Structure 1
Amino acid sequence: ASATERVHLGPTVTNPLTRHPAVAASGIASINRLSGGRAYFGIGSGDSAILNLGLRPAKLADLHEYMQAMRTLLAGESVDYKGRSIHVKWSNNQIPLVMSAEGPRTLAMAGGIADAVIVHSGLTKDVLADTIARIREGERAAGRPEGSAKVWAFAKCNISDNHDDAIDEIKMALAASGHHAFRHTLEGKNVPEELQEAVRVLQGEYVTSQHEQLGETRNKALSDELGLTDFLAERFAVAGTPDECLAKVRDIRDAGVDNLLILAISSQTDDLIRRFGEQVIARI
């Protein structure tokens, strides 16, 4: 916060189960003050952070209640939460609330309450069109103007001069995306029928204690063993040669996405980020 001037700062994402809203509001308000107003607050139902504690992801009703509590707390007002009155009275920040969403119901809810939606449902044109439509449905249902919830696409990223090398290094991250996005149900999630059984097996075989770890992990092997690598890479990644990454980012932009978040998966993260900036973003 103190060492930068333009970058926006925030969690992508925390969850309602391990962070009490008063603690979360106080923390992000502090970052917002230190950064001169550059903070945002990202939240989702919970993934490895809660699965490794033996917990289940938050229910939509609990996530909705948490979002409402955060907005009220950040405005410096008291709110009743879980039967108790709580407050962070020194805060008067209108910090953007950003919600991660994949499924149809979650996307619609996010459209009705969030300032931006981190979409991890996929990056292909048809999936993005369906995803954005569900966000807009949520906006309309909540009486919000279209475009109230900005769309932030989330991509697993890697760049190499060789396409196969770029994909090979991030197979464990592709498995993580498939495990997260397709949990609970496949209904309304645009998974080809011939791959649905493999996706279901992934849910049971994924090792949460190795979540997105680089190297020859069990999760990396799963992607190939189940025949899902090509599908998951096309669906969730901006990865390949610089020209391939550039074409994918242009497609994402043209689909109506407002912002792109990349998770740099590489043993050489600094080099990846530099190459992405110089060889992809600079050419958009």
Structure 2
Amino acid sequence: MLQTPLRVGIRIPPCDRADRIVDTVRRAEESGFDDVWFPDSQLLWRDVFTTLTAAALGTERIGLGTAVTNLVTRHPAVVASAARSVAELAPGRFTLGLGVGNSSVGPVGLRQSTTAAMREGLALLRALLAGEDRDFTGPAGTVRSRLRDPRPEVPLHMAASGPKNLRLAGEIADGVILLSGVSPRTLAGATAQVRAGAETGGRDAGTVPLTVSAYCAVTDDIEAAARQIKPICASIAQNGGAPFLALADVHVDMPEVVEGVYPDLVHAEDWDAAVKITSEWVSDEAALRFAEEFCLFGTAEQIAGRLRALHATGVNGVFLQHVGSYDPPAELIEAVGASVLPAL
């Protein structure tokens, strides 16, 4: 079977009015990107489904997806209705990416979805999108309901990083969003877990699309660019990822709490301050090693070569992230569109 071309996407946070974000999405479409992925965090950004609606109406070709929404702050029935509504406006172009919650749940004092809750939630979503009747139990008792005008063709992709969720994603999701970066060592471990899950579900692992997220910078000065991602490296180490970093000879020992950064290390409002604060634990050398191993930092030729190598391992897609949560990735779109995509 011939391998399909690598899909290259871009992550665009809904950090401005929807109509202005659509201008950025159109530019990504014009520049040759295959997909745009929108994160969902109700206190950090505009509503993701409002933004998706505007993007669906304002584009023609580019794929649209959530990376990712959740089933904690949003009830599965609400997500099913929203997904159906976007899919109607962009037939065949919408992917519903789901995760455990992260920056959506923390700021409002809720807990991330457990693996069991993700299994139950995806099953309910799939049933609703297929138009099936389902029981809902609440304070008023149990009622049986269904989604009117369903869209069963909406693909459900699950974002995962830990072993349990990686196996679950391989078992039940229509695709997997890998949060391991592009490090060959950690990526191999993650894909092995997905394959194990697929086997448990009686599926051919080769038919489960894999999309990898990666921070990207087209630059001749990797050292300077790497210093800007110290908060990312610190966050991974702080949230249980230190062993994965160590596999790539990136050694970071973080305290449980880091003061002075809001709302968290990955989405810091004052990024320069977050870089300065995390420099106490993340050296320039560690940041450079992290950028070289886990991210796509370098010249256009170097990035294109790493993307080809990534595709050769069986990865179907990648979505690129810029450093920053509260501005659109305009510079990254221009740089990748002008020099990396033509090389592919």
Same fold (TM over 0.5): yes
Question: Equivalents in 2 of 1:110, 1:4: separation in Å?
Answer: 30
Q: Which runs of 5+ in 2 are unaligned?
A: 1-55
The residue identity in structure 1 corresponding to 2:59 is T
Aligned to 1:264: 322
Q: Give how far 1:145 is off.
A: 1.9
Q: Give how far 1:223 is off.
A: 5.2
Aligned to 1:33: 88
Q: Give how far 1:25 is off.
A: 0.7
Question: Equivalents in 1 of 2:300, 2:234: separation in Å?
Answer: 23
Aligned to 2:194: 135
Show the 5 A alignment for 1:36-185: 36-81=91-136, 84=142, 85-176=144-235, 178=236, 183-184=239-240
1:275 correspondence with 2:335: yes
1:238 correspondence with 2:296: yes
TM-score (norm 1): 0.86
1:218 correspondence with 2:274: yes
The residue identity in structure 1 corresponding to 2:126 is R
Question: Equivalents in 1 of 2:328, 2:87: separation in Å?
Answer: 30
Q: Are 2:233 and 2:282, in contact at CA under 8 Å, matched by a contact in 1?
A: no
Aligned to 2:25: none
User: 116-125 vs 231-240, which deviates more?
Assistant: 231-240
Secondary structure of the residue that 2:309 maps to in structure 1? helix
Question: Equivalents in 2 of 1:112, 1:145: separation in Å?
Answer: 10
Q: Are 2:230 and 2:287, in contact at CA under 8 Å, matched by a contact in 1?
A: yes
The residue identity in structure 1 corresponding to 2:312 is D
Bigger RCO (CA 8 Å, 6+ sep): 2
Question: Equivalents in 1 of 2:163, 2:245: separation in Å?
Answer: 11
Question: Equivalents in 2 of 1:195, 1:244: separation in Å?
Answer: 21
The residue identity in structure 2 corresponding to 1:19 is R
Q: Are 2:216 and 2:322, in contact at CA under 8 Å, matched by a contact in 1?
A: yes
Q: Are 1:167 and 1:240, in contact at CA under 8 Å, matched by a contact in 2?
A: no
Aligned Cα root-mean-square deviation (Å): 2.6
The residue identity in structure 1 corresponding to 2:57 is S
Question: Equivalents in 2 of 1:81, 1:126: separation in Å?
Answer: 43
Secondary structure of the residue that 2:57 maps to in structure 1? coil
Cα 1:104–1:28 change in 2 (3 A) is same
Question: Equivalents in 2 of 1:56, 1:191: separation in Å?
Answer: 28
Q: Give how far 1:82 is off.
A: 5.5
CA deviation string 1:34-89 (max 9, x = no partner): 11231111111111111111222111000111111111111111223556544212
Q: 1:204 aligns with which of 231, 234, 257?
A: 257
The residue identity in structure 1 corresponding to 2:305 is A
Q: Are 1:51 and 1:208, in contact at CA under 8 Å, matched by a contact in 2?
A: no
Question: Equivalents in 1 of 2:339, 2:213: separation in Å?
Answer: 19
Q: Which runs of 5+ in 1 are unaligned?
A: none
User: 123-132 vs 102-111, which deviates more?
Assistant: 123-132
User: 35-44 vs 160-169, which deviates more?
Assistant: 160-169
